[in-house]
Amino acid sequence: MKVKGTVFKYGDNIDTDVIIPARYLNTSDPKELAKHCMEDIEPAFVEKVKPGDIIVANKNFGCGSSREHAPIAIKACGVSCVIASTFARIFYRNAINIGIPTLECEEASKNIEQGDELEVDFRTGIIHNLTKNQTYKVQPFPEFMQEIIKAGGLINYIKKNMTRV
Amino acid sequence: MGMTMTQKILAAHAGSELVKAGQLIQADLDLVVGNDITTPIAIKEFSKIGVDKVFDRGKVAIVPDHFAPNKDIKAAEQCKMIREFSREKEIKNYFEVGEMGIEHVLIPEKGLVVSGDVVIGADSHTCTYGALGAFATGVGSTDMAAGMATGKCWFKVPAALKFVLNGRPSEFVSGKDVILFIIGMIGVDGARYKSMEFVGEGLLHLSMDSRFTIANMAVEAGGKNGIFLVDEKTLEYVKSHSMKPCKVFEPDEDTVYDEIYEIDLSYIRPTVAFPHSPENAKPIDEVGDIQIDQAVIGSCTNGRMEDLRMAARILKGKRVGKDVRLIIIPGTQSIYLKALEEGLIRTFIQAGAVVSTPTCGPCLGGHMGVLAKGERAVSTTNRNFVGRMGHPESEVYLASPAVTAASAVTGRITDPEEISD
């Protein structure tokens, strides 16, 4: 599976309060949450982002709260994947659970810039920077996580394995 | 090779003799926790799994605390949803307004976690229960749903950082200063994916309330969990609050840690984390002149008796600054009542503070003390990212109850020693 889109580039420690401020957590509706994604760090994000676009950040992306609303908001904006040099653990776990690809790649996060066009191939783990004509290789997920991603998230994975038993 | 406390607990719950850092395991759960903003999504996901019941009605705890008592109509709908789910699934540990408290203060008080337990909670500060020598970690709503359905959760076994605490903290220094000092030292990702294991003779001088505070903020260093070595104090707390059998796991002698930090508690100063990160920590002596508009004492980090007693000690006979709003939030009904009995509430109100029913409220900019543009608060809460307590152009300084109370009196961030009698 491949995705292609324009990059929105951020720095270190992008926390869950800027991804989706807590004042919007009185709803779990993805469409509502999408309207406020990245609001306190880039109010124009929701206007500019198009389906397929890609968020790229430096270290510790998604730090802070366990709110699943954060990857939900990102996914509901149409973002096709998130690339960072490192992720905070709860965000990473949540993103995989809800089926939004998160790729850890230091080289990618160092070299990719705002506005670059990327193509990402999840099967091969190759990120192709079309603007800079560079490629970066991502570590493959552990097999167990690949099963969750293949199943389309944790709930589907559980259903699949429950019926088998 | 030896195992850490965390690894031993996980091994025991995964049916293994031995686990190693990096290994993926599936563990049996002793408790699954959720609140009013995370449980609604968990309920939706749970319904997709297709099971009728939760795995064990006695091992799920649902606490409306973030936007409860209902902050607005949408929050009311979320609280209604979790109430109805709890009723339908006959959840034994659903705590309605009147009995509820801030979840991570309430749940140990209700004896729902004991030493040796494995707990997941759909709230990042679930790591608080590590103070009891349990493995407790924050997860998202989908993991909560999966946990409620199956009674299991997958984990990657963490490596550990060891913190050897020695010495005795000085008079106005408590758990909050210790953990802010540590996060300032290692950074918001210094413990990423790792356990933070706390040992040492300094534990003798840290109350359970201080230990809850320290474990609570393990997540702010990126930690998977924080955990304290179990000692007499722990066992006394556990046995006086719970009927559940507990198990003590001690680290092996030959355990290898990623890092070992030796910390002399007597050297730690009252510490303040500046906007906009918990790692932006400075000792009180380097704070300078920071004028404040609001002070908050409460939250799952510092809403316990020791915190309120310290605040009352500082505030007794004094007045909150004319231009300062001091908001004090006991963590549970029981704590509120005890504070009332001890005369603390009287002290607070006479000083010009306001006292709220238990709620997370202002900690996440929800209600009960949201900040306007340009306002500044000093707070005993746990995060100060941009927009955390309200307007994106407001500021939050994190500190202990002692510093927060002292600052409320002077109107600027203050060393408690400066105004104590």
Strand ranges for B83-184 from DSSP E: 93-94, 118-121, 135-138, 152-156, 160-166
CB of A155 within 8 Å of a chain B CB? The answer is yes
Cα(B157)–Cα(B140) distance, integer angstroms: 18
Q: Is residue A164 predicted with pLDDT exceeding 90?
A: no
Pick from A26, A60, A93: CB nearest B140: A93
Whether A29 has its CB under 8 Å from any CB of chain B: the answer is: no
Residues paired with A57 in a beta bridge = A84
Q: Which residue has the higher pLDDT, A142 or B5?
A: B5
Q: Give A144's contacts in chain B (Cβ within 8 Å).
A: 24, 154
Confidence tier at A163 by pLDDT (50, 70, 90): low
The predicted structure's pLDDT at residue A48? 97
Identify from B33, B103, B183, B188 which residue to disrupt to test chain A contact, counting A C-beta atoms within 10 A and taking the largest count: B188
Q: What mean pLDDT is predicted for residues A39-52?
A: 96
A81-100 residues touching B, CB cutoff 8 A: 86, 88-90, 93-94, 97-98
Short-list B227, B214, B140, B224, CA closest to B179: B214
Per CB-CB distance under 8 Å, the chain A contacts of B143 are 93-94, 97, 154
- pLDDT of A137 over the 90 cut: yes
Cα A18 to chain centroid, rounded: 14
DSSP for B168-181 reads: ---TT--HHHHHHH
Write down the residue that tokens 């543009």 correspond to: B373
For chain A, the maximum distance between any two Cα atoms, rounded to a whole number of angstroms, is 49
- A149 shares contact with chain B (CB less than 8 Å): no
What ipTM was reported for this prediction?
0.92
- Alpha-carbon dihedral sign for residues B185, B187, B188, B194: negative
B416 SS3 class: helix
Per-residue pLDDT of chain B (421 residues; tens, 9 = 90+): 799 999 999 999 999 999 999 999 999 999 999 999 999 999 999 999 999 999 999 999 999 999 999 999 999 999 999 999 999 999 999 999 999 999 999 999 999 999 999 999 999 999 999 999 999 999 999 999 999 999 999 999 999 999 999 999 999 999 999 999 999 999 999 999 999 999 999 999 999 999 999 999 999 999 999 999 999 999 999 999 999 999 999 999 999 999 999 999 999 999 999 999 999 999 999 999 999 999 999 999 999 999 999 999 999 999 999 999 999 999 999 999 999 999 999 999 999 999 999 999 999 999 999 999 999 999 999 999 999 999 999 999 999 999 999 999 999 999 999 998 7
Sheet with strand B259-264: strands edge to edge: B225-228, B195-199, B160-166, B259-264
Determine how many CB atoms are found less than 10 A away from the CB of residue A29: 13
Half-sphere exposure of B145 (CA within 13 A, CB side): 30
Cβ of B37 within 8 Å of Cβ of A13? The answer is no
pLDDT at res. A161:
84
If we measure between CA atoms, which residue out of B148, B135, B122 comes closest to residue B66? B122
Backbone angles phi, psi at A135, to 5 degrees: -125, 150
Cβ contacts of B395 within 8 Å, gap of 6 or more: B275, B276, B371, B375, B376, B377, B384
Q: What is the pLDDT of residue B204?
A: 98
Instruction: Name the helix (H) or strand (E) containing B33.
Output: strand B31-35
What mean pLDDT is predicted for residues A3-27?
95
Q: Outline where B151-283 has alpha helix (H).
A: 175-186, 208-216, 232-241
Alpha carbon of B208 to those of B198, B201, B216, B304: distances in Å? Answer: 13, 14, 12, 10
Look at residue A121 and tell me whether its pLDDT is greater than 50.
yes
Hey, is the C-beta of A139 within 8 angstroms of any chain B C-beta? no
Whole-prediction pTM:
0.96
Chain centroid to CA B202: how far? 20
pLDDT at position A165 is: 43
> Above pLDDT 90, what percent of chain A?
81
Q: Indicate the DSSP class of residue B157.
A: P
What's the rounded Cα separation, in Å, for the pair B267 and B285?
13
The phi, psi pair for B150, rounded to 5°, reads -110, -20
